[in-house]
Structure 1
């Protein structure tokens, strides 16, 4: 019975890198998502850069809202205690200015609140991703007066790189060893003391709060060789922020951690769909560069918004262009990430304007973008439940012209256009589609029926700049789309539609075996 009790927690199947492929992730700035008391109407002005009262309990109480869009993981702000002081750049409401690695940020709630959130997520088979910062800590002092004495555990100046600023971003030594800003003393990650502290800390943090994955901040500002042991010590999937616009730079970091955010593609994706003049060819070229330079494109983080970049509707209000960007994010190779407020078409431009409080939306589930994301994401979950090959198969470029990009992935064809809602009605004749001849196909946006011709040829009706998403009709049962039933199979999670993979079961049995060996010495 003791053995059984010890084995039972393993039935939860700890998150593996492979299982993250099937997830879709909702990014949250904890301070701006939801307050514990919904009756608290205290104004929140993002431009003031101060705490607005969002909490872990607030997130807990709105998980239905998140899961209603089909998301199967959330990514929350750093959880550790931050410096309490006002600085020239405001307060540390965002969580990136560490004061004490071993304490929680009390603005966000208690340990019990965080544990309760994690348990509620696990009950829904949703993953918890936590943001962590290694490169720097926080300081309210003028840089030259910083002593480190208020920082735990790095309380001595020998724990930091000497003060310098980055003037030449092509100089990797400067990028890694100089300070990003006045408020961010740069930790000396070459120090054995610092390395041991960080590796022990991250392992304990993951265990203490049952964290399923890490988002790592400012990765390129720390030497590459630091990361493998750190990620190994965490024992979970990690995705890093490497802000650069070339794949040969960003994807080099996949040799040191499982994944990075696909910033190089983000910039091309932005430009491609903002207007009919956007460059589809640049986007297509970047897809080829991803294949050439990236170790595993299927683990890259896809996004069109985040806390550091302008909201997409800040540059276009066209619903069709927004829908095309959503469609690429969700169905292309990689893990899709959405930023809180995308579903409400928030329009904040650069930081801090793009860090609006979500409660002003009343958490509407009837906004056009909420409905769009929910439909597309739930369909993605359905596809994965039908065939896990969807997240392990690479997409192929079927067709492109100045305004159109057609991509085929496993059994899905999606056609993107930047013509916008006032675009013309026309027929796109594809000489090949990826489907076998004779396949009965449904276009799930408009529910039109097609049959693949010779060599998979298709004539697809395009209008109002909407994306086209085509899928075998016989695989739509259970999707809830186009008149088909809405249900999930026995081997899927009933809330997120995520199928347990062979590697998940292997992880369980492997863990069980090692536990038996530990207990009985066999």
Structure 2
């Protein structure tokens, strides 16, 4: 059994490249599904242009020619059948039915055929999924929602049945009825409508099940992963349970879109890091820095420091996703106004493919696709032009192939060797595999750097440039706007873990361990407990997560083979049987920014609380059903040290609402109120103890006087 291939041929995302496709703008394989709202001339960017699943299938050989191993397709679920705000839902982000495929794109049979045909070419399919919202609340179909063709509600009908949640203060039913987001923080950020789109109440049991079932239709039909839209606007606690349910069937590659444009240490960036500890995220914050530095002006030395700092906060920096262009942002070649824009594009493209993280290529990047009609949304979504003979296509193809053979590119660390304004050299190392990327956006220069590589002459993978190493010094010539990639692959002698897929799991779920030097067999330990091995080869191990008694969020994963042990990797561990629960604390006598931290794996990392208009602090967290727990209360800011308030509160999970108490419940099986309306008193926090202390001293003094008088 140990020598068998990977069960289900699961993929290691870090060894691959993602190709992002806007389905409607790629290729028309079936003209019969183009109407209505169709523009055959491809001039109105807000109408359908004909691309569909059959068109994707026809162009799989082209996609394969680029060396990519994953395709990320825009949302395929059934969208509204009306125009809204002058636009048709060609993009797929205005869902009305999460259990059907949009008729402009095809059918479930078409999707399953796409998965099978892609699999034949060594490609897996990742689907964009949109659980934050459905469709516009005040136009089009007014938030209409269907369950496999059966009408459920719309935004206005739902409002009639909505009630005010006594804890969050939000009017809700299937949807939240809190208006649009105007304050991009706090409660509005997660409980109001994003750009007027009907915002789901994921804690509604029907919504929770409905969104999960919809996602499972894709994974059950063969999708190897999901890209989750707008995670910034959903409670992390609900997403954690949502992901765990999806992982229950097989290891999946799930990543989120947390839209944050800056790598500066803000609350927004802290939120991105929190979400990345559960599943990977797109590296949106650093994309703007890369485009500015290569498309306009900027120091490579400054960029190197920014990136080193950014990556240092991730548990798994190599699992996050790098991109240059996307459907949300202006394409590089539309934005960079300079004579050498194409050369700079090549440099930036090569950089995104060699930095820590999984590269994402936006459709048409290889053919220099841009719109002549505009720059931003929707003009960053023109009709595809197919050309795989360009220099850009060559860069993608070459570096995609290198990712499969060079462990440093897939899993390696990240260290700047040399940097100034125009020149940057960084090294990535994983065991005996190494990679050196060197670039120069200035005038030609001769460069000599310190480099601990064996003496010899090395040839660049992209253009064949030479680098000579002698006595720990490397020398090479850098032309203007040049980018070179040198690499070493030698036998990996020690067991080394490069990644876990997924890196969050609960007992009984499978995780794929990828790396090198695993040999033909051995043992895997998770949190010190031996895991059941399902399959094993020298670079990949499939195991089942064991039950571990722990209060820690992260457990060590260690591979032992041939008398050697790997350095530990980290698994975000959940107890199992988790439900998304609203945790509430009565806010009487509480002020400031508060956090909780508890004695369960799920609560081992501090969770920030929001304050409602109904005098509660609250958060949503995954909690193991039927479990008693306690939490401590803390105060502080996102990036600073949290200060304990020396208060312990208690809860018991038998409902999706848990109001914390001063003491453990006498009867743990006591039924918690489904939606409590009364406040639960607990010891005031932060109240001045001086009056009580003075009173105690006075009483003691009086007692002493009486005692003396009475002899």
Q: Give the TM bin, normalised by the shorter chain.
A: 0.7 to 0.9
- Aligned counterparts, 1:188-267, within 5 A: 188-207=201-220, 209-235=221-247, 236-244=252-260, 245-246=262-263, 247-255=269-277, 257-267=278-288
1:87 is matched with: 84
| Contact 1:216–1:240 under 8 Å retained in 2 | yes
Q: In the TM superposition, what is the alpha-carbon distance from 1:351 to its structure 2 partner?
A: 0.6
| Contact 2:17–2:68 under 8 Å retained in 1 | yes
Aligned-residue CA RMSD (Å):
3.0
* Distance in 2 separating the partners of 1:508 and 1:291: 26
Structure 1: gaps (5+ residues)? 476-497, 512-522
Q: In the TM superposition, what is the alpha-carbon distance from 1:179 to its structure 2 partner?
A: 0.7
Matched, 1:271 2:292: yes
* Distance in 1 separating the partners of 2:116 and 2:287: 33
Q: In the TM superposition, what is the alpha-carbon distance from 1:376 to its structure 2 partner?
A: 3.2
Distance change in 2, residues 1:147/1:102 (3 Å): closer
| Contact 2:131–2:229 under 8 Å retained in 1 | yes
| Contact 1:242–1:261 under 8 Å retained in 2 | yes
Higher strand share: 2
Matched, 1:450 2:446: no
In the TM superposition, what whole-angstrom CA distance separates every residue of 1:458-515 from its partner, at most 9, and x where no partner exists? 122111311122234999xxxxxxxxxxxxxxxxxxxxxx99996994488658xxxx
Distance change in 2, residues 1:330/1:509 (3 Å): closer
2:628 is matched with: none
Distance change in 2, residues 1:30/1:428 (3 Å): same
1:135 is matched with: 132
Q: In the TM superposition, what is the alpha-carbon distance from 1:122 to its structure 2 partner?
A: 1.2
Q: In the TM superposition, what is the alpha-carbon distance from 1:438 to its structure 2 partner?
A: 0.8
Matched, 1:60 2:57: yes
Distance change in 2, residues 1:128/1:261 (3 Å): same
Between 72-81 and 187-196, report the one with greater CA deviation: 187-196
Q: In the TM superposition, what is the alpha-carbon distance from 1:389 to its structure 2 partner?
A: 4.7
- Structure 2 residue corresponding to 1:288, chosen from 299, 308, 324: 308
- Aligned counterparts, 1:298-377, within 5 A: 298-316=318-336, 318-348=341-371, 349-358=375-384, 361=385, 363-377=386-400
Give me the TM-score of the superposition, normalised by structure 1. 0.81
- Structure 2 residue corresponding to 1:104, chosen from 101, 113, 121: 101
Q: In the TM superposition, what is the alpha-carbon distance from 1:50 to its structure 2 partner?
A: 1.0
Give the structure with higher Rg (CA): 2
Distance change in 2, residues 1:102/1:150 (3 Å): closer
1:488 is matched with: none
Q: Counterpart of 2:330 in 1: which secondary structure?
A: coil
Q: In the TM superposition, what is the alpha-carbon distance from 1:334 to its structure 2 partner?
A: 0.5
In the TM superposition, what whole-angstrom CA distance separates every residue of 1:209-259 from its partner, at most 9, and x where no partner exists? 11101101011010111111111122222110001123433222112x320
Q: Counterpart of 1:260 in 2: which secondary structure?
A: coil
* Distance in 2 separating the partners of 1:85 and 1:448: 56
In the TM superposition, what whole-angstrom CA distance separates every residue of 1:425-475 from its partner, at most 9, and x where no partner exists? 221221x13x424143112344233331222x1122111311122234999
Q: Which has the higher contact order (CA 8 A, sep 6+)?
A: 1
| Contact 1:202–1:230 under 8 Å retained in 2 | no
* Distance in 2 separating the partners of 1:369 and 1:44: 28
1:467 is matched with: 483
Give me the TM-score of the superposition, normalised by structure 2. 0.60
- Structure 2 residue corresponding to 1:175, chosen from 166, 174, 189: 189
- Aligned counterparts, 1:494-513, within 5 A: 505-506=535-536, 510=543
2:526 is matched with: none
Matched, 1:164 2:190: no
Q: Counterpart of 2:241 in 1: which secondary structure?
A: helix
Q: Counterpart of 2:127 in 1: which secondary structure?
A: strand
Distance change in 2, residues 1:452/1:504 (3 Å): farther
How many residues were matched structurally?
A: 461
Q: Counterpart of 1:427 in 2: which secondary structure?
A: strand
| Contact 2:98–2:211 under 8 Å retained in 1 | no
Higher helix share: 1
In the TM superposition, what whole-angstrom CA distance separates every residue of 1:298-355 from its partner, at most 9, and x where no partner exists? 1110001000001110123522211111111111110000100111112232110010
In the TM superposition, what whole-angstrom CA distance separates every residue of 1:28-62 from its partner, at most 9, and x where no partner exists? 00111111159999744364311111011111111
1:418 is matched with: 441
Between 438-447 and 115-124, report the one with greater CA deviation: 438-447
1:74 is matched with: 71
